[in-house]
Amino acid sequence: MGEWEMLLRLVLSGVLGALIGFERRSHSKQAGLRTHFVVAVGSALIMLVSKYGFWDLVGMNSVSLDPSRVAAQVVSGVGFLGAGTIIVEHQFVRGLTTAAGLWATAGIGIAIGAGMYIPGVGATVLIVIGLEIFNKLQKNEVYSIGRANLSEEGINSALDILKNSKMKISNIQVNRHHNKSNKDLEVRITFKVYTRNQNEIKDMMVNLLKIPYVRDVNIE
């Protein structure tokens, strides 16, 4: 295969990866257009080298080639890159979809590098359309993470406010820890708030702060 066709495959792979990256970027995710573009082009390049870079060794005695071995390492190697986009904070996980997108982008790059144009383009279209559809279906599921620091006496009052709130609140977690400065026992309540109404969030923060035992409330 000519080197110009190889270059065409790299360009096509980069364009397809950039499409997925643009969708992620439009939703303010950690890995955006540039990251997906580089992953796609790099994967396609590795696949080209794996498939065509060792033809001068074919036919030599005691030499056997397995083009799939190098490509297989791309799939596992991208896993480390995807792990960097996953954020675990107080048992809440973010970035899984972006990590999966990077992994899929690597697969698209491998497909285009191998000359499988239709599967590569088809996968890109399915991923972009699927992400957009599911984003719209889950637009009402946008949530904020709330944290309230308080003393142990205020746990029941704070939980009552969260339980009786008109907003959807889930994943309520209560963690006890000792204050490093005075070694007193403190409590942190962490929760998810599902709403787009900022006034509702402000009202709940005010209600929590009315509890004498609550030191501070943060919702982001």
Please tell me the predicted confidence (pLDDT) of residue 142. 67
Give the pLDDT confidence of 120-147 residue by residue, as tens digits. Answer: 899 898 888 888 887 776 655 667 888 8
pLDDT at 209 over 70: yes
pLDDT at 105 over 70: yes
Contact between 179 and 113 under an 8 Å Cβ cutoff? The reply is no
**Sign for the pseudo-dihedral over CA of 172, 137, 98, 220:** negative
Please tell me the predicted confidence (pLDDT) of residue 48. 85
Neighbour-count burial for 97-112, b at 16+ CB within 10 Å, e otherwise: bbbebbbbbbbbbbbb
pLDDT at 182 over 60: no
Banded model confidence at residue 1, pLDDT cuts 50, 70, 90? low
End-to-end CA distance of the chain: 53
Mean pLDDT (whole number) for 143-162: 88
Please tell me the predicted confidence (pLDDT) of residue 92. 53
Select from 3, 4, 16, 21 the least CA-distant residue to 110. Answer: 16
DSSP state of 139: G
Give the pLDDT confidence of 13-24 residue by residue, as tens digits. Answer: 989 888 888 877
Rounded Cα gap, residues 48 and 1, in angstroms: 10
Average pLDDT taken over every residue of the chain = 80
pLDDT at 60 over 70: no
Mean pLDDT (whole number) for 97-121: 86
**Domains defined along the chain, listed by start:** 3-137 (no CATH), 141-219 (3.30.70.260)
